A = this chain, B = another copy of it.
């Protein structure tokens, strides 16, 4: 009986990787609308909103990719990246509030290569599910990253939900 009570109270952790794309907000919305409310009665569900900032060194590595930026431009990009964190988390919070779903919500901001940080966070938290958009990862995706969702689907141990934005379908 004690065991049953313990099982009932088990915490379920859902990590949603968010970025400034419409797609990641859609993935969050999909998660809130489709994950079981049955579970909510039995378990303590925590939604972890994870945003990954590129490391400062990423900006200078853009030079190597053929982009030549002045120091001012790099400083401006760093500032922009910091502002994005706030903006993305605010949007994510609004999507959550709008859904009417009740979960514990935590916000985490990581720094580094998105695919590594996401996989590492999922593993560290022993997350039950990872939800993310299908396309790159934000502003820097085209220059720096391959497919983050591909990498995460291969490397994390929990179920991975890859969500495509309907507007981006059939492109």
Contacts and interface: CB of A to CB of B under 8 A. Distances in A.
Most buried by B among A30, A36, A149, A166: A36
Contact of A34 (B30, B39, B153): B39
Contact of A160 (B35, B37, B162, B170): B162
16 contacts: A30-B159, A33-B36, A33-B39, A34-B35, A34-B39, A35-B36, A36-B36, A36-B37, A37-B37, A37-B38, A149-B153, A150-B153, A150-B154, A160-B162, A161-B161, A162-B162
Interface residues of A, number: 26
Copies in the complex: 2
A170 B157 contact: yes
A98 to B, nearest CB: 15
